[in-house]
Amino acid sequence: MTILGAADSGPSCYSRFVNEWFCWQYVEDRQGQITDALVEHVLITLSALALGIAIAIPLALLARRIPRLESAVLGFSTGVYTVPSLALLPLLVPFTGLSAATVVIGLGLYALTILVRALLDGLRSVPDDVREAARGLGYGRARMLTRIEMPLALPVVMAGLRVAAVSTIALTTVGTLVSYGGLGDLIAHGVQRDFRAELLTAAVLCVVLAVVLDVLLVLLQRVLTPWTATVR
């Protein structure tokens, strides 16, 4: 049926003989496959970011108390960031196998290194006189952190989260090494088969995803820190 239809209208724009870069027909015909890859991409990215945030917050709070831990954390994060993603994933494979967990943990580590730094910078950016004023008003340590320090550190922390989110979206494609790369799997397949429409569609979707996530985070920041809106 489809073969007959294709024969009637000539080769489609993604056939091997035409192989066009832009081909809407491809997007329509492979909608399910593209959606699956897109969903996997988003899930891996969000899990990695969630993992990074979950570890970064307690780590940053601890490191702030213990100066020796802080320099260790900063040294470790420089080290992790220096290791290329294509080398980090194989190093995790013995522990997690060829699974999505490998990609999530690897990317979570990268996100963690950015987020810990952002949290430490953010908390350091809180003016000392604000802290003293809060202490004078009778704020205890916990309430000071949640009511005073965290909100004031938020702009710096959100800037870090945006960097982490955008680079995690891009890095997820490398997960194709263990066959869990979301849109990266489409790119890898596109390169192997010289399938231009598939390749370009996946690449464009990656960039679109990054932009969308970045815009969402900017909006979230506006909602969370309404007092900065007037300054900008």
Binding site for other proteins (CB under 8 A): 78-79, 81-91, 93-95, 97-98, 110, 113-114, 117, 121, 163, 166-167, 169-171, 173-174, 176-178, 184, 187-188, 190-191, 194, 196, 199-200, 202-203, 206-207, 210-211, 214
Smallest distance, other proteins to C-beta of residue 83, A: 5
17-22's contacts with Cβ under 8 Å and 24+ in sequence apart are: 19/194, 19/195, 19/196, 19/197, 20/196, 20/197, 21/196, 21/197, 21/200, 22/197, 22/200
Give the Cα separation of 47 and 45 in Å (integer).
6
Task: Estimate to the nearest angstrom the gap between the alpha carbon of 17 and the chain centroid.
Answer: 37
Nearer to other proteins among residue 86 and residue 137 (C-beta): 86
Q: Taking a C-beta distance cutoff of 8 angstroms, is the pair 96, 51 a contact?
A: no
Question: CB-wise, 173 or 221, nearer to other proteins?
Answer: 173
Q: How far is the CB of 207 from other proteins (least distance, A)?
A: 6
Query: CB-wise, 47 or 176, nearer to other proteins?
Result: 176
Helices (H), 137-195: 141-143, 150-172, 183-192
Smallest distance from other proteins to CB 54, Å: 19
CB of 81 to other proteins, least distance (A): 5
The minimum distance between CB 218 and other proteins, in angstroms, equals 12
- Judge contact between 13 and 20, C-beta under 8 A: yes
Judged by beta carbon, residue 23 or residue 114, the one nearer other proteins is: 114
Instruction: Report the length, in residues, of the chain.
Output: 232
| Residue 18 or 137 with smaller CB distance to other proteins | 18
